[in-house]
Amino acid sequence: MIQRIQTVYLLLTFVVTGVLMFFIPLWTLNTGKAFYFMQDQFYTILLGLSTMLTIVSIISFKKRQNQFVMNRLNIILNLILLGLFVYRSLNLSGETAVNAVSVKGIGMFLPIVAIVLLVLANKAIKKDEDLVKSVDRLR
């Protein structure tokens, strides 16, 4: 399981979505307080689903096709999350709003890192699947 490169990519994705989001703020509000994903229930649900999909994908290493599909769903989920982050930062960028975003944080772009890692994992899964199919053809 761990010797396969896609498992390493998926573990890194877990670290990005499940661990780093607790420590890196999405943005800083006008009041100077950092805004973390836990302060919005919708962001918490989406990141929880993304982390759960990553864990299930790591566990189902024997079923490559299911792993591939779960990673695709996770990519779509992270794209939705990224879109929500960008929309929120662009929509509330004015300083007149009560909860305006004054300083954008690096945490807002962590879904991009997760998407890149998931795409790399899917490429490795596809390569493994092609290798297995070519060996089966030779038998």
Percentage with pLDDT > 70 across the chain: 88
Q: What's the rounded Cα separation, in Å, for the pair 77 and 65?
A: 18
pLDDT level of residue 123 (50, 70, 90 thresholds): very high
The whole-model pTM stands at 0.86
Query: For residue 1, is pLDDT > 70?
Result: no
Contacts with 75 (C-beta within 8 Å, 6 or more apart), sequence order: 115, 118, 119, 122
Q: Which two tokens stand for residue 89?
A: 């930062």
